[in-house]
Amino acid sequence: MCKILIADDEEKIREVIKEYAEFENYTVYQAEDGMQAVNMVKENDFDIIILDVMMPKLDGFSACKEIKKIKDIPVLMLSARGDEYDKLFGFEIGVDDYVVKPFSPKEVMARINVIIKRHRSAEPDRNETLVFGGLEIDMAGRNVYVDGKKVDMTPKEYDLLFYLVRNRGIALSRDKLLEDVWGFDFFGDDRTVDTHIKMLRGSIGPYRDYIVTLRGLGYKFEA
């Protein structure tokens, strides 16, 4: 049975999501602020966390950063603000999806189910380490090394790199990357992919040219 943590200072929102989640046989936990959510993550394992952006003590973005330092748990962010900057910032710090209030509980549950399914399918099913020159990619351990030094990346950077590597040599359009890496009904556009490619290239430094830009189409991994 999947475990979900809902962190929102509005009790009505927590209860609405809880009702729909329990209907789909989720075990639901609740937090009233970001600080409580982080402390609960330290003591429990969850399959997904829903965070409201505007919360007392610790806002959703800050809570997400702290949670990602502790455990690799997918995060769905809720916010009354729909600014593109806020959304892109969320994805840069590791948010898996972003829903603007007011929202449909059914849509939220659909996104939750897809995120969990995608997160589980992204987990390597075999021990495999790929080496491309000085770039070493430990698929099972979800680690990346550049010239022997471990590189810290955002969860979405890992997802994007692993997807590119699994499909190395194949031309991948931006739409294809959005569909397979970001998933269900993602709000973003080409700039979302381009922003994360830029971040990923920065992370792998001297091997940035392994990610080839296909003008007018997208990208491919070629070492």
What local confidence, expressed as pLDDT, does residue 26 receive? 92
Domains (ranges, CATH) in the chain?
Answer: 3-122 (3.40.50.2300), 129-221 (1.10.10.10)
Q: What is the DSSP letter of 87?
A: H
Query: At residue 18, does pLDDT exceed 50?
Result: yes
Q: Indicate if the pLDDT at residue 187 is higher than 60.
A: no
What value does the mean pLDDT of the chain take?
87
Put the strands of the sheet holding 97-100 in their side by side order: 27-31, 3-7, 48-52, 75-79, 97-100
pLDDT tens for 56-94 read 889 999 999 899 888 888 999 988 876 677 777 777 788
Contact 206, 196 (CB under 8 A): no
| Whether the Cβ atoms of residue 79 and residue 86 lie closer than 8 Å to each other | yes
Q: What is the pLDDT of residues 134-186, one digit of tens each?
A: 999 988 788 899 999 999 988 889 889 999 998 888 899 988 888 888 764 55
| pTM of the shown model | 0.61
Peptide bond into 102 cis (omega under 30): yes
11-23 and 105-122 are packed helices; what angle lies between their axes, rounded to 10 degrees? 60
| Nearest partner of 38 among 11, 2, 75, 10, judged by Cα | 75
Kindly tell me if the per-residue pLDDT of 109 is higher than 50: yes
pLDDT exceeds cutoff 50 at 125: no
Beta carbons of 42 and 36 less than 8 angstroms apart = no
Task: Provide the strand spans (E) within the chain.
Answer: 3-7, 27-31, 48-52, 75-79, 97-100, 129-132, 135-138, 143-146, 149-151, 172-173, 211-214, 218-221
